[in-house]
Amino acid sequence: MSILVTGGAGYIGSHMVLALADAGERVVVLDNLSTGFAWAVDPRATLVEGDTGDDTLVAWLLREHAVQAIIHFAGSIVVPESVADPLGYYLNNTVKSRALIAAAVEAGVPHFIFSSTAAVYGNPAVTPVPEDADLSPMSPYGSSKLMTEIMLADTARAHPLRYVALRYFNVAGADPAGRSGQSTPRATHLIKVACEAALGKRPYMEVFGTDYPTSDGTCIRDYIHVSDLAEAHMAALEHLTRGGASTVLNCGYSQGYSVLQVIEAVKRVSGVDFEVRLSARRPGDPASIVAASDRIRADLGWVPHHADLDRIVAHALEWERKLESLKGRN
């Protein structure tokens, strides 16, 4: 099967490309390389540098490669940045997704998998949060993703397009074989930042907010290994190709850890007691959000293999060390 992966040169996208290539699929990557890297794309895939908002390019790609499924990762992902630049996020995450969905309909692409987010829930009233919980995003990032979910649902009712939207919780770790990982400079992911501090790439790290209504006052999140997330997409693709109905599913482990617990895990695994500074809250951060993951396990048969915080941290540390040898590559 020929599959288009948008944002396939980025963190999650590059792991998806590995999973698809390992399964023998034909993969075409569309990425503008604004945050991704050409070297991160597995050589078994075809990389095209360009933007998902380029209607002419996307139409040509879908036709030229006879694309049968689209897995859409391309977008902006930093919550505080979205609060400061909401229109930029609505352009990149919503307007360009609308263009991609329209191109899929025009080309007759039957299957679409969308990279959504737990941020659509905002600060949920229940935990773990199920898929049918109230949707109340606290940031333009969450709103921009929710809008795309709505567009997909409406499009699927009007056209022969079926989709799976996966609401990610906090993605971390790296390919266990060391082939890819989180490589973006100045990344804001907690485990990435803590690993950088442990390896001396940062003089210290900050904790944003210690007065949340949680056990230790810091935010609680559900951390999922990036390779397990890629496998969830593979299960979603199989679901669609077997004729499965469109659906929206959480993707997490149903286990929450506070910011301070994660930092302690990084210190424990690395053996380094790095400096941690306590700072004020950031805008747009909910206190606690943990996935109810029973539906994805039941509907897709998804079984995670790396649901262990120390293992996630160990893989992230291994990749962070390897990045030193990759400096200077584009």
Catalytic residues: 141
The DSSP H or E segment spanning 316 is helix 309-326
Can you read off the two tokens belonging to residue 70?
């689209």
How is residue 222 written in tokens?
């559900």
Identify the DSSP state of 81: H
**How many angstroms from the chain centroid is the CA of residue 35?**
13
Q: Please count the other Cβ atoms lying within 10 Å of the Cβ belonging to residue 79.
A: 21
Q: CA nearest 169: which of 255, 287, 259, 82?
A: 255
Number of H helices, E strands in the chain: 11, 13
- CA 222 to CA 21: how far, in whole Å? 28
Q: What is the DSSP letter of 46?
A: E
Instruction: Transcribe 88-133 into DSSP letters.
Output: HHIIIIIIHHHHHHHHHHHHT--EEEEEEEGGGG-S-SSSSBPTTS
Asked whether the beta carbons of 230 and 18 are under 8 A apart, the reply is yes
DSSP SS3 for 2: strand
* Cis amide bond preceding 128, omega within 30: yes
CA nearest to 292, candidates 159, 133, 184, 158: 133
Q: Cβ distance 219 to 231 under 8 Å?
A: no
Residue pair 19/231 in contact by the 8 Å Cβ criterion: yes
Distance CA 111, CA 212 (A): 41
